[in-house]
Structure 1
Amino acid sequence: MGRTDGRASDVNTPIFARGPSLAELDERARDIFRRIVESYLDTGEPVGSRTLSKSGLLLSPASIRNTMQDLTQLGLLGAPHVSAGRLPTHAGLRLFVDGLLEVGDVAEDERRSIDARLRAHGRNYEDALNEASAILSGLAGGAAMVVTPTRDAGVKHVEFVALGAERTLAIMVFEDGTVENRLIRLPAGVTPSALQEASNFLNSRLRGRTLVEARVDLRTELDGARRELDETAARLVEDGMAAWSGGAAEDRSLIVRGRANLLESRETAEDLERVRSLFEDLEQKEQLIQLLDGVRDGEGVRIFIGAETRLFSLSGSAVIAAPYMTGSQRVLGAIGVIGPARLNYARIIPLVDYTARVLGQVMNA
């Protein structure tokens, strides 16, 4: 099980100060705080002093209330209504996750299922990324996100292969051994010679260079070479470059699966409003990619909770994410689960960690 790292993303600046540390809580306060958070994560309901007094605590409701008041003043608990019980704040959830959460492991049958489903796609990385997001959304019960890899290896070979009259397979082989395939609709009237011409043009300009390095120069060169290239070959070059990710956030793909899971068990108007806000967050593709790119500088699971990031300040969402990387520890991208702050952290953290590790192995095969 990899380590967890609760640092908020630099891109999404924290908008509240960190709360107290566990060292500032005595044994009674820690016990009461832990019970409240565990109950909230299990039921989603506020917890009152009478409920706690019946849970095995050898304290009077009055003593429990006094401690709950102290925890509220520290910013770890809050009350949805004056007469209600207490809920953990985002700062309280952060303290719990960092210091009190007991993380389990992935069940053996789930390990076998994750391995089999991801490895079934061989070197088809696009299918593997889609499968990884489907796996996590199914097992974790939230929405799963995968950011496609940044591509920083040089190009070794480019080829267009016709797949009938209307489609071609654009193949790009990189110097690190990875291969990206994209299906492209053929322009009308494309001939085999035009396919070869487009392949030759890209090979002569891209070989040994990264897509990021070649992107701007290639556009300029294509404009100048249109008189020499067949019109359909020039169109193929444009379509091929548009289909391949160049590494910039605005061009990379964010795969999201399992949005429907977020609507389950949302009974109140407040619950539905939070989900509506979360759906709006999911539309912020560039910001989500930047958030997940913040995972790239660590080796383990990263957790972002609610108002720790400006992106989730309204929806109160949480993200559990981990990088997937090559055998040489070069980070390719990130995968994670997003949902309300009341995620099942103990279950989802090891699922995300294990899926990221297997995905990295598949991408490095």
Structure 2
Amino acid sequence: MIFNDTGVAGPDKLKKLNNNADSNFSDEDYKMWSDVGNKTTQTSTIETPKEIMEALKEKMWRRSHSLKSVETLENAIKSFEKYLVSRNITYQQSIQNPIEILDGYTSWLDKNHAASTTRTYLNFAKKALKFLGAKIDSEEFKERVTLPKKRPFQDDKVTKDQIRRIILGLNHLGLKTLLMLMKDTQARPTELLGLRVSDINLSYDPPYLNIAAERAKNDLPRELFFTPETKGLLISYIKKKDKQAGDFLYLNSIDPLDEVAVQEEIETVNGTMRTTLRNLLAGHEFADMNEKVRQHGTMQRYKLHIYSFKKFAFTVMADTLGEIAARAIKGDREYVLTYYRKNREERAADYNKVTPKLLCSPTM
């Protein structure tokens, strides 16, 4: 038995988990875990034992090396535990009857979450139960667990006029450069926030930057060109911040070898950038850009947001170079490896065809 009757991990399971890692747990420690909750007839709360949660997080980190993925895992497990408590279900019951429990969890999630969140959280709950010993047949799961259909997010790309208005309205030079790089390159904000000055080549025509594999969403490095107008803004930013070659472009005082600290700082700065943009668009002069999107779920979303700059670049590149090239520059795995067989000169020639359509001057 993996869990005792109160839903707490038994000693055998915990000992197995820790056999694969350094552990100072004694037999008494394992017994203590198996005894937790024995004096209650029904637990009022359910919490995944720390050792099991840490093992799940370690596996997630080992696979993705993404703090965001680990955080999503934690949130998903907490959500699943909340569901179990609301239905007075123990972990042991979940392991014995996982399909029915997961279908009920899906229905519970669907009331207040977007389809994408429901699918993500369900996937993590399924992984957790399988990790704890539940037998889940794939065909039976597909047959009996009803998933909500994915609904496209009805957002908009920014127009050139909107880009000009936003950039001129911002007093945040760092955010200006970030948005301009996004509208030139299709790079994600977190990919750009992890750049170091040495990742940027301002002497080549057109100038370009390198997204390292460890910063790329799909773990594939990319070389991305950007326009002369963004180059000028970027030079101004580097000079104002007195950035040196080895410095991070947007992060301060971070050891580049401390991957956890770097990712934490990227998420912090990313949050600041998004909030700053949202606050600007909340002003009365930007009322036409602050339209909310009606959607299923509780999260408030807007038609224009930081990724709208990325969408602008994708549309321009797809119209000029074709969708395959646009998706490769965006970083879609199935296209990157093919498109990047072209040498730098060939890709620069492609980008020069796009540049006039990306430029938003002369008013900036």
Do both proteins adopt the same fold according to a TM-score greater than 0.5, normalized to the shorter chain? no
Larger helix share, 1 or 2: 2
Q: Which protein has greater RCO, CA pairs closer than 8 Å, 6+ apart? A: 1
Larger strand share, 1 or 2: 1
TM-score norm. by structure 1 comes to 0.22
TM-score norm. by structure 2 comes to 0.23
